Structure 1
Amino acid sequence: MAKSNADRSAKAAAKWKERGEVEIRLHCPPGTRQALAELMAWSGIEEQGEAITLMIHHLHGLGPGGALPLLTPPRHEITVSPSVARKLERFHIGRKRRSPEEMFGNDQEDSEVSMLPLASHADRQVLWHR
């Protein structure tokens, strides 16, 4: 007689427990899934678990010096241009000069559009604000 799904699942769970295996689940965006699929195609590996296991072991084999650069996530550097810095500074100075009740939306000027000159140099720029 053929075994039921429950019997097969129980037998597999017993083997995993005996070997000390633990299930690891991975949720990933489409780009990561595509990268894994390409890696699997390049190497001829058909099982995702096998590909991920091999990558982990090979990466671990590189040691800390080789693995850490590959495990460092890319960081985005934010740079503020001089013109944006001037705009932010002017805005900050303007806010500091306001009284506390004006800072909470009771300012008459908040209902009108006005222009503030941003710099005193030759290429003057204008910041529109409400």
Structure 2
Amino acid sequence: MAMDGKARSAKAALKRQAMKEVELRHTVRYGIKQMLGDLMHWNKISEMGEALQLLILNAVPESALLYRNADIPLMPAEMIRHHARQGIQDRLDDLAGQMFGASHKHVIELLILCAHDAGPEGSAKHLRIPRHEITINENVSRKLDQARIREELRMGRDD
């Protein structure tokens, strides 16, 4: 039988607690949340938390700082909420330090402004999924080849 909403919420809360994930709330200037929505639409991202995490991971502080004097109405403010694990929180703290001690709210605003200003095609670099480079050293390669040869010999004997 399927779980009801309360059971799912309780299970998710336990999982977040185990992963030391916290909810971050940013009160941003009017229009920033709509810009984030545009970025998500352009890059086919359905979760706000995922979009914010990618913006944080791919951030270039020097580019984002160019938008610190952007003309955006101050009222009414909007709330952006998302969950973040320790690594993202540390990266956000690091970005804030690189941006002359800006608050997390201002870092988020600047990252969204920078990516949105790049347009539908240009924003993709701000929201790309970072990939790890995998290299196999010579020793591992040799052992894999030896294992492959042993397996081929074993398969030949079984036939």
What range describes the TM-score normalised by the shorter chain of this pair? 0.3 to 0.5
- Greater relative contact order (Cα 8 A, min sep 6): structure 1 or 2? 2
TM-score normalised by length of structure 1: 0.45
Larger radius of gyration: 1
